[in-house]
Homo-oligomer: A and B are copies of this chain.
Amino acid sequence: MADEISTLMINNRDKDVLLRLRNDKTIHGTLKEFDIHMNLTLENAEDITDETPVKLNTILLRGDNILLISLPKE
C-alpha cells in the first residue's frame, strides 16, 4: 500500500488529466504540481462542464473539491 496515493500522480506530471469535481463541474488541463492533499496546479485549464469551454489558464485547485481524476493511459 502506498503511503499516500497522491504519489501515484507523479507518473502523470505534464500529462493531460480530467477532473470531476464535487460540484459536478469538469475541468481539463495539464497536471504540473500537487501535494498530499491533492491540491494541484494545471496549465491550459478549461472548464468543460458546458458545451462552450471556459478558459481558466493556469490554476491552483484545492484537492478537497475533487471527486475523481481520470488519468491518461500509460
Contact = CB atoms under 8 A, between A and B. Distances in A.
Given A21-B67, A60-B68, A61-B68, 4 more contacts: A1-B10, A5-B33, A5-B39, A56-B68
A30 interface: no
Number of this chain's copies in the assembly equals 7
B58 A73 contact: yes
For chain A, give the interface size range.
Answer: 35 or more
Which label, helix, strand, loop or mixed, suits the secondary structure of the A interface?
Answer: mixed
A70 B59 contact: yes
Interface in A13-60: 21-23, 27, 33-41, 56-60
A60 B56 contact: no
A38 B37 CA distance: 12
